[in-house]
Amino acid sequence: MTLHKPADFGAGGVTGSLDADGRIIALNFYHAAHGYVTLTTADPFPESERYNPAAVRAYRAGLVSLRGFGLHFDEPIIQREAALLDSAIPHLRLIFQNGGAAEVTTLAHERGVVQIWDVRGVTPRWQGKLCLQRSAYTQLTEGGPLPMPPLALTVTCHDRLVVENTILGAAVVMAGLKSSATPDILHSDQPVNIALTPVQPEFTVLAYGAGSTVEQAAENADWLHTHARALLDQTLADWQGRWQNLPADPLLRRGLVYGLATAVPVGDTICLLTDHMLLPLSWNRDAYYVARALLSWGLTDIVRRHLLWLFETAERDGGLWSRCYLANGRIKDGAFQLDQQLFPLLELAEYTLETGDQATWARLQPHVRPLLEQLLARKAAHALLLPTDETPADDPIALPYHFSSHLLFWRVLTRLNQLGFDADGLAAQCHAAINRHFISEQAGRPLYAYATDGGGRYHFYHDANDIPLALAARWGFVAANDPVWRATLDFAFSEANVGGAYAGRLGSVHTRAPWPLGDVQDLIMAQSLNDAERANRARDRLRAAAQWDGALPEACDAQTNEVVSRHWFAWPNAALACVELGAFDR
């Protein structure tokens, strides 16, 4: 298969991507102070453009076409092929005009990255632009920029390549290079271009060790170089075991592979990132669907450790979770979103119900009632309506009470009730409040409004980010033939849903185009309605929107299905994996 999107790798908190020639465009790893750092060929994002969405979109889109650091060949390449070994490990093959060939397999490990090359008939050289910096964290809805640490690069080139950012406190060392280059030391406050020639023809393995110091990175590089082939064999065997009894659907497998790849160990806990290239941050909302898929896949310990990260590592201002987090648990954006408070509770309840892990429930249950009390302290005086400052798309909300977040609140309360948690009859009150305050007429039909002020004003809209509406029947909030729910679904996919519907597909005003998350909602609704034809159409749209490796973007073009926004996004594939694994049927 031809590579149009960079090939991704990740394990143990180390992630990255490759260009079409097998060179690394980014090698990312955890940093205790800064969350996530990257050795990349990308220039730093201009700090003056943080609040310029057009500049952010352009920068993020440009990462797809970066040329990486690694082996270069003077002979013209006439054919490129890309595959994923066992659906997880990128393997690229290059065919040269002179009949030569090169193949590379790239493997991530908690210590760094290994590239195993098989080069025949051509002589490679190593070169590329290098910038070791904190991840850029480029957001369309910037919630408060974090000052970027200065570049203070020290690069040493000889038998091994050493890259250190002395102010950041991070280093990458490459072992396995055999070069006749004269030892050199460069100091720079800008990205540096390095060329090492020639590389000896017998060279086969490059190992990039990552660490907080040069010594740690060098130790990791040497270990990876020594164990590269055994590590590859073991990793492939592990993946073969994981896929037993699972279909070979690339979209499903991408959801599980990427969820595991972007699980970052933080001490004894685990942070789940929304993606590894654009926004290596954590949103409770996105992370819930990743965790829910991993739980249904049987990776219960990862979910347990993620729950510990949520409840014990992530900072909570006044006891409440914020909009998003650095991998180390520090708050990135402080905005209050109602659903961000609820998804951790749902994850905890479902984990406990499905695993029977009473020890973790006993450890984390003391957090539950104080959080509910914090939320109830905000409720409207006349009804169980809880305000939010933003929508689940991180956008301002027209009216304070958000429909799908209240559906989610009801689901949380019912799941807590199943655990015997005394929620004081709140589930019934929430159900009544939703039906009393969110239903109103739009164009002569009663619908669930997207938002209300609780006093007669309504905003009619539906968004690809608001999956709880699609799950209302699956969760048992309504019957599948409920006329209000059915009318709301019809509205959501119609032209009347201004800013939310695009050529019969669900999207968002956040990025005005169809969203695969909207197609996942369509699939959920079709299953609830026993509409096989609609389900098939939704799956066809998802397959059309998927990239070569099965990755679903944030948004795609309505006609061509080309990526409009975010080539990397964990949530859509994770949500689809939840559907395919029956996670919402439990």
415-418 contact pairs (CB < 8 A, 24+): 415/346, 415/349, 415/350, 415/353, 416/345, 416/349, 416/368, 418/349, 418/353
Asked if 256 and 243 touch (Cβ cutoff 8 Å), the reply is no
| pLDDT at position 180 | 57
Residues 275-292 have pLDDT tens digits of: 999 999 999 999 999 999
Asked if 168 and 134 touch (Cβ cutoff 8 Å), the reply is yes
Q: Mind listing the pLDDT tens digit of every residue in the chain (586 residues)?
A: 445 799 999 999 999 999 999 999 999 999 999 999 999 999 999 999 999 999 999 999 999 999 999 999 999 999 999 999 999 999 999 999 999 999 999 999 999 999 999 999 998 989 999 999 999 999 999 999 999 999 999 999 877 899 999 999 999 999 988 665 556 788 999 999 998 876 666 668 999 999 999 999 999 999 999 999 999 999 999 999 999 989 999 999 999 999 999 999 999 999 999 999 999 999 999 999 999 999 999 999 999 999 999 999 999 999 999 999 999 999 999 999 999 999 999 999 999 999 999 999 999 999 999 999 999 999 999 999 999 999 999 999 999 999 999 999 999 999 999 999 977 799 999 999 999 999 999 999 999 999 999 999 999 999 999 999 999 999 999 999 999 999 999 999 999 999 999 999 999 999 999 999 999 999 999 999 999 999 999 999 999 999 999 999 999 999 999 999 999 999 999 999 999 999 998 7
CATH T-level fold of 7-242: Beta-galactosidase; Chain A, domain 5 (2.70.98)
| pLDDT at position 1 | 44
Alpha-helical regions (H) of 50-199 = 53-62
| pLDDT at position 417 | 95
Asked if 21 and 28 touch (Cβ cutoff 8 Å), the reply is no
For residue 330, the Cα-to-chain-centroid distance in whole angstroms is 18
| pLDDT at position 201 | 64
CA distances from residue 363 to 310, 357, 366, 368 in whole angstroms, order as listed: 13, 10, 7, 11
Alpha-helical regions (H) of 174-320 = 214-242, 250-261, 284-296, 300-308
| pLDDT at position 6 | 98
Half-sphere exposure of 64 (CA within 13 A, CB side): 15
CATH T-level fold of 250-357+377-585: Glycosyltransferase (1.50.10)
What percent of the residues of the chain are helix, what percent strand, and what percent coil, each to the nearest 5? 35, 25, 40
Angle at 457 between CA 455 and CA 458, to 5 degrees: 125
Residues sharing a CB contact under 8 Å with residue 153, sequence separation 6 or more, in sequence order: 130, 131, 132, 163, 164, 165, 186, 187, 188, 189, 190, 191, 192
Asked if 392 and 404 touch (Cβ cutoff 8 Å), the reply is yes
Number of CB atoms found within 10 A of residue 223's CB: 17
| pLDDT at position 423 | 76
Chain region(s) in the chain for CATH 1.50.10.10: 250-357+377-585
SS3 state of residue 143: coil
Strands 124-134 and 192-196, by their bridges, are antiparallel
| pLDDT at position 2 | 45
| pLDDT at position 281 | 98
SS3 state of residue 10: strand
Chain region(s) in the chain for CATH 2.70.98.10: 7-242
H or E segment to which residue 43 belongs? none
| Euclidean distance between CA atoms 427 and 411, whole angstroms | 8
Asked if 384 and 430 touch (Cβ cutoff 8 Å), the reply is yes
